[in-house]
């Protein structure tokens, strides 16, 4: 199993027309946890991997987590898609106590990337996993 950071910029991205901010993701985790997310490249995600959501605004923070449901697939209009399911209780825990990028040793994150092994304990602890 691998852990990935996925960047959501509420000023640029949308989820079914809604801004992908922490409030929207928390609501979706409770009401509609299954999502299909855009990827610029396939990556090597596998079912069971975790996807940690780094929100860029207003303050950068990891405040949600999901399981990858299936391998990314090619979609001609958007490059790749990946199906994930938000983890409701873990997302609620992170929403209440998000993790700042400096606590994870992240420099500037521009794309989906793997979580550094030394950062994983902080994420798991905050998410209650």
Position 43 scores a pLDDT of: 80
- 70-80 pLDDT tens trace: 999 998 887 89
| Domain layout of the chain by residue ranges | 3-127
Radius of gyration, alpha carbons of the chain:
13
Closest-CA residue to 115 (of 107, 104, 126, 125): 104
Q: CB-based contacts of 51: which residues, under 8 Å, 6+ apart?
A: 4, 6, 37, 45, 65, 66, 67, 68, 82, 84
H-helix or E-strand spanning residue 50 = strand 50-55
Q: 3-127 has which fold?
A: ph1033 like fold (3.10.590)
Mean residue pLDDT of the chain comes to: 90
Task: State how far the Cα of 126 lies from the Cα of 128, in Å rounded to an integer.
Answer: 5
Per-residue pLDDT of the chain (129 residues; tens, 9 = 90+): 999 999 987 666 667 677 788 999 999 999 999 999 988 887 889 999 999 999 988 889 999 999 999 999 998 887 899 999 999 999 999 999 999 998 988 777 667 889 989 999 999 999 999
Closest-CA residue to 85 (of 115, 121, 49): 49
Biggest distance spanned by C-alpha atoms of the chain: 38
Position 47 scores a pLDDT of: 97
DSSP lists the bridge partners of residue 64 as 53
């Amino acid at each position: 199993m691998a852990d990935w950071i996925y960047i959501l910029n509420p000023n640029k991205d949308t989820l079914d027309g809604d801004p992908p901010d922490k409030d929207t993701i928390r609501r979706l985790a409770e009401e509609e946890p299954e999502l299909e997310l855009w990827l610029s490249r396939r990556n090597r995600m596998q079912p069971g991997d975790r996807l940690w959501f780094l929100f860029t605004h207003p303050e950068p923070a990891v405040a949600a987590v999901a399981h990858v449901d299936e391998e990314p697939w090619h979609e001609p209009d958007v490059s790749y898609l990946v199906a994930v399911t938000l983890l409701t209780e873990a997302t609620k825990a992170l929403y209440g106590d998000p993790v700042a990028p400096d606590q994870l040793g992240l420099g500037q994150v521009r794309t989906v990337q793997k979580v550094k092994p030394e950062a994983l304990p902080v994420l798991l602890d905050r998410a209650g996993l």
